[in-house]
Amino acid sequence: MNKGYIKIVLALLSVAVYMQNIAFASGSTPSENFSNEESEQLLTADYEEVHQKLPTGPEEYERLLSIDPEETKQAEHIMAEALAQLQYHAKHTDDYYLYSKKDDGAIIHFKKFNGTDIGKLDLIIPNPDCYDNIINLLSDPNGAKHFDDSFIKGRVFRMYNKNLGIIQQRHSTFFRSWHGYYHALAGKAQLSEDTTAIVLVSSNMNDHDKKNNKDYVNPIVESANTFKPDIDSEEDIKNGKLSKTYINLVGFIIKKETDCVKITYLISIDANTYFFVLNSMIINAIYNKILDIVNLRNIFEKK
C-alpha cells in the first residue's frame, strides 16, 4: 500500500485504542441530553465524497469500502447511539465509585451497568497546545504503540464515510504468550469547536473465527446487536489461533480548555474467556488499561 493512500486512510477514519484480553461479564439507557438523531447528524458524511478520494482498481482498496448503502446506514445509526451512550456515561453520577486518584489530574471511577463494568478516567493534560496532536494520535489505528506496550498492530477493514469504519486491532493478552484481537465499529465526531469524541463499539460481526464464534450481545449499545457484517479475516483468526475480545463501549471525549486539555475516557469490554474469572481481576485488568491512557500526559507534557 503506498504512503499516499495510507495518509488518506488515516484522514478518513478515526480510531482509538485496543483492549487487553481478560474476562468479562455482560445493558442500555437512553441519554437524558443527547439523542441518537443529534449524534447521527455529527457522523453522517457523503459516501460518494469518500469513494472519490480513493484509488480504484487494487483489490486492497476495494476491500476497505462497503458497497452496501443499507449497511452504511445501519453503521451510522449504531455509531450515533454509541456516541450518545458515551456522552451519557461520561457524566459523573452517583452510581460511580472512586477507584483510584493518582492525583488531581488523573481520577478513575467504576460503576456497574446492565451486568457489565464501566471504567471512567478523568484526565487533565496541562498543555492546551496539544489538543490537535492528541486527536491525531488517537485517530491513528497504530497510535497506541506510543503509550501501550501490549499493543501489536491495527488495521482498517472497511470505511463507510470519512468519520466511520471498521477496524481490527491486535494485542498481547494477560498471559503475554497469547495474542488477542477485536473488530470494532470506530468513529469520530466534532462535538464543538473545542471538543471531539472518538468512539469504538463491537457487534456480532462474522469474522469467520471458527473457535471464537459465540453469539455476542452488546449490553450497552443495543442497536449493535443486529449489525453482522462479513469480515474477511486473516488465516490465523479463521483458524482460531487468537483470542477474541469484544468492545461493549470505548470512547474519548477530548476538550480543549484555556490552560489544559481535559479527556474523559470510558472503557467496557467483554473479554470472551472460557473460564471463571473473579470480578476483582476484571476490574484490575481494566484499571491497568486505563493507566496506559494516563501515559498520554508524559507524551504531551508541556516543555
pLDDT tens string 149-181:
888 999 888 889 888 999 999 988 655 456 889
Q: How far apart are CA 301 and CA 199, in angstroms?
A: 24
Q: What is the CATH number of domain 3-299?
A: 3.30.530.20
List the grid coordinates of 101.
486518584
Share of the chain above pLDDT 90, in %: 52
Strands 97-103 and 243-244: unpaired
- pTM, full prediction: 0.80
**What is the model's pLDDT at position 210?**
85
Average of per-residue pLDDT across 5-26: 31
Mean of pLDDT over the chain: 80
Q: Is the pLDDT of residue 34 over 50?
A: no
- Going by C-alpha positions, the residue among 201, 207, 213, 211 that lies closest to residue 266 is 201
pLDDT digits (tens, 9 = 90+) for 96-146: 999 999 899 999 999 999 999 999 999 999 999 999 999 999 988 888 889
Q: List the domain boundaries for the chain.
A: 3-299
Cα separation of 250 and 48, whole Å?
A: 29
